[in-house]
Structure 1
């Protein structure tokens, strides 16, 4: 059919033009379809990220309160005397308060990672004009050390990473609360793991050597429950014991890595990008200066009580490094 139209086009010129227009239109429509498909896929992907963000926060809250109430009302009374459970309850309340306060402050202060909030203070510290880049999403100039997060819908100054478990980006304003949160999360999960283990050793498997401990692992416990070798209650506690143990280890690793990055003057994003690590000098000159940059004065007290009255301390050198650093791929 196309050949016939082309032959006719040699005799009648106007159909050729019409044919060319139609072919161009088809190509244009194909490009539009491909572009729309890519946009749809991008929207679906970010929609999944948003749901993952919500699911992470819900998981965190359920785990915090789930562990506390399970220990308080079930595993501890079934294993220890009332006075011992009262002590565990007091310690549990302290852990819950530390976690919730730092979690809420992390979310609230995440909006303060906006670079525009820091520009006035930097202008007072140093006269060096900050080098910038244009952020298409924010439609404004942003410092080179800031990075746009589509989930948070803003640029994040000194971005470390986006944490799906806490639902926001870790940046210069809220990193202090994130570090304290993961420390107490590790402690709380370890305590939960201990009380669940004591319950399992008393009511499920007391002889863990040499291979009895395998029964306490979540996959093994679930299989034993499916084949009717174990009751559901013990299986559920085995699963929670495994979750608590894994959470404690992961949170402790996060705490150690965050302190390592902080003491070296980098963020996770900075440190693990080789070209940036080579070209970018770490923020601050001493450990004390770098800790004050994140936690403010009396930094160690923040691990017990958040010192909101002592904000991040940026020296002129740190401010210059944040707002005037150049790197080829920032």
Structure 2
């Protein structure tokens, strides 16, 4: 009876519909949590404890940070489907077939998918492609993966982010980085209010070591047994730890993704090189080319406002590296 229940539970948990539903719920929960924390921090931590005048001049900064986080979050979700392999193959191969030497973003490409793909397939070895995707009805290239949660073949897939609820690929990697970047700054700024408040108002926190600050359960037990704290103060302690882990997660993902962008590769590229012996080169010869490849021509302006109108800057060498990487075993 127990084994039958376990098998039934395992089947439900491993089903695609359950994973998709869970992923959507996680994304909604994160949005709701942040939407709750911003006014809570502003009112209770800011206005209630420090006064209205203290927080008034900080409101534009908080609004700026929050709007950038939500805007990039929205663009990330909106552009998940833009990672579609079929669309990108049509665009890249049509550009590669043309005699135009300009970058991809400077040329309007007339898509002739069937003819272009047939000509290109005659010129390359079939082992440069992956297996056939029965869901998207397309021959996958080596640097693409079908995501059963997003239900699309993602070109140059880095990973599927369960927190944001979508795949990080060639079209939305910029928005993933910027979402993590603004999240870490927004939460870190709110965290500074908590640290100042706790060490100023609550005596127990002055005696806590760094070990307690990475373990909310230990810190809560410490305050419970050694100090008389109200239920609200315990809840406030856990809200503080939500800020701590939000700041750490956002910062770690942001820095690691920046490293990948500057390196001109994805997480899965190391697997292709080590396990499958593909000779993958960085996408772009210089750091500037790699930044333009992800963020667009004026990549530095994304800090002020997301340049969603600026598409990826791609040259022919990048196309060959993305679509037709050579194998060391050939």
User: If the length of structure 2 is used for normalisation, what is the TM-score?
Assistant: 0.79
State which drifts further: 55-64 or 108-117: 55-64
1:132 aligns with 2:102: no
Asked if the contact 1:159/1:172 (under 8 Å) is kept, the reply is: yes
Residue 146 of structure 2: aligned partner: 148
Of 196, 199, 202, which aligns to 1:198? Answer: 196
Query: CA 1:319 to 1:58, structure 2 compared with 1: closer, same or farther past 3 Å?
Result: same
State which drifts further: 66-75 or 55-64: 55-64
Query: For 1:95-174, what aligned pairs fall within 5 Å after superposition?
Result: 95-127=65-97, 129=120, 131-133=128-130, 134-174=132-172
Asked if the contact 1:161/1:169 (under 8 Å) is kept, the reply is: yes
Residue 281 of structure 1: aligned partner: 281
In 2, Cα distance between equivalents of 1:96 and 1:182: 12
- Structure 1, unpaired ranges of 5+: 1-36
In 1, Cα distance between equivalents of 2:21 and 2:12: 12
Cα offset, 1:177, TM superposition: 0.5
Cα offset, 1:218, TM superposition: 2.3
In 2, Cα distance between equivalents of 1:162 and 1:77: 39
Asked if the contact 1:176/1:295 (under 8 Å) is kept, the reply is: yes
Residue 116 of structure 2: aligned partner: none
Asked if the contact 1:135/1:141 (under 8 Å) is kept, the reply is: yes
RMSD after superposition:
2.9
Residue 40 of structure 2: aligned partner: 70
Cα offset, 1:168, TM superposition: 0.4
In 2, Cα distance between equivalents of 1:148 and 1:216: 37
Cα offset, 1:206, TM superposition: 6.8
Cα offset, 1:230, TM superposition: 1.4
State which drifts further: 108-117 or 243-252: 243-252
Residue 269 of structure 1: aligned partner: 268
In 2, Cα distance between equivalents of 1:165 and 1:195: 25
Query: For 1:217-232, what aligned pairs fall within 5 Å after superposition?
Result: 218-223=216-221, 229-232=228-231
- Structure 2, unpaired ranges of 5+: 1-5, 98-118, 122-127
Query: CA 1:136 to 1:43, structure 2 compared with 1: closer, same or farther past 3 Å?
Result: farther
Asked if the contact 1:143/1:323 (under 8 Å) is kept, the reply is: yes
In 2, Cα distance between equivalents of 1:189 and 1:287: 29
User: If the length of structure 1 is used for normalisation, what is the TM-score?
Assistant: 0.79
1:302 aligns with 2:298: no
The structure number with the bigger radius of gyration is 1
In 2, Cα distance between equivalents of 1:169 and 1:300: 24
Asked if the contact 2:198/2:205 (under 8 Å) is kept, the reply is: no
Residue 249 of structure 2: aligned partner: 250
1:52-105: CA deviation from partner (whole Å, max 9, x where unpaired): 312321232123212211111111123323222112322211111011100010
Q: Secondary structure at the match of 2:180?
A: helix
Query: CA 1:135 to 1:191, structure 2 compared with 1: closer, same or farther past 3 Å?
Result: same
In 1, Cα distance between equivalents of 2:67 and 2:137: 39
1:227-286: CA deviation from partner (whole Å, max 9, x where unpaired): 683111211121111121122112111111111111111111213553358632221111
